[in-house]
Structure 1
Amino acid sequence: MKRMLSFMVIALTVLTAGCMEEQVKEEPNEKENEQPHRVEVEDGKEENQSEEDEGQESETEQKPPLFFAENGNLFLYGLTLGDSLSKAESIWGAPEMLDEEPESAYYFPEPDMTISCVDEKIVAILIGTDRNKYEEVSEVFQGDHYKDTESDDEYFLATETGQLLMYRDAAMGDYEKEWRLLMSDDNFFYYVNEGVYEKVN
């Protein structure tokens, strides 16, 4: 009887040890199988997020700022005088036609801008504005700055090219003020010579 009990205890011990070894062997395999799966999911998320971030950045980069100057040319929302209508459309999409005579006028809902063209070349750009947009331009402009002594209109002249950016009372629309980019002419210099437009800097 004692032998029988001893044999049973030994047999149970061997069986228990065998089961435990199998569990120990199986557990690392399960963990090994789980880990790559987790890494793939995490990596996938990271890749997707970085792709989305890049997409958002490229969309933001595609839209030019309100104002910048380059090689003596003044740009409003990425456009300057002499640019083509097709360039404006490539940046801001299809416009609404406002007038055909004497100049073709086009309105771009985004960014709320009107351009005038002759032979599909831009001759004037008009943007409704407010004080914040005024600061955005005046703080970075580096040409000649004039103020009208008889009103609160201001003029920013690019001396290299003769381009003139006017800040004045809005002729129409919901804005009090407007930016108008066009070429300077004899009228402008007449008022400068008469002292009506005084140089600020």
Structure 2
Amino acid sequence: MWDIIKWTFWITIWVLVAAFLHYTLPQNDIVRITDTYEKRVDFGENSLFWAHPQTGETQNTVNRDVFFIQAIKPNGRPMVYRNEDTGWGWPPYFKFDTTNLQTQAADLKSTKANPQWVAMKHYGWRNEFFTIFPNAVHARPVAGPDVRIIPWTAISVLLVLGCVVLAIWSRWRKFRAKRVDPMLDDMEQGWDETSAKASRWWNSWKGPRG
């Protein structure tokens, strides 16, 4: 039973870490931009997935105008991105050029007959049920829909995190071998001795049978 609880705990932790990294790290989509617009958004239960107001604006947490970028993927599926500043907050993209990106996206609009493919860097998820949109960070034209973009930033972050986790794990194993395991062994030995004394005491009170 204890092993099941332990494995469930660690699986839950790693799933949460993986979800956090997948949401936060940058991703690149190859898309064709079809339209850009601005819309007043009333924030509700999904406010966690919206950025803070743009730098210099009033800190209104109820509603505000948000830029959006509509696009089509090479397989024909639609994709909608929000375009919000991250400022000095989290995730640490230090994005302050929302209006510039909106202007650039508008300039890259194209039609199905004469497509202009764009590499859209973003973070976050798209979820229609909860009305969640990924946040566009950067847009640049590319040669075609089959362009492969290596996510060097995400790879670098994952390598650094992996090294940090390995370093912490190595130090924990050494600390556990020197301090924790001997203490647990002493506690287990003390418990065995206490149990043996209690058993002898109980047997002495029971007295001889027959």
Q: Quick check: which has more Rg, 1 or 2?
A: 1
TM-score, length basis structure 2: 0.26
Q: Which structure's relative contact order is higher, taking Cα pairs within 8 Å and 6+ residues apart? A: 2
Q: TM-score, normalised by structure 1?
A: 0.27
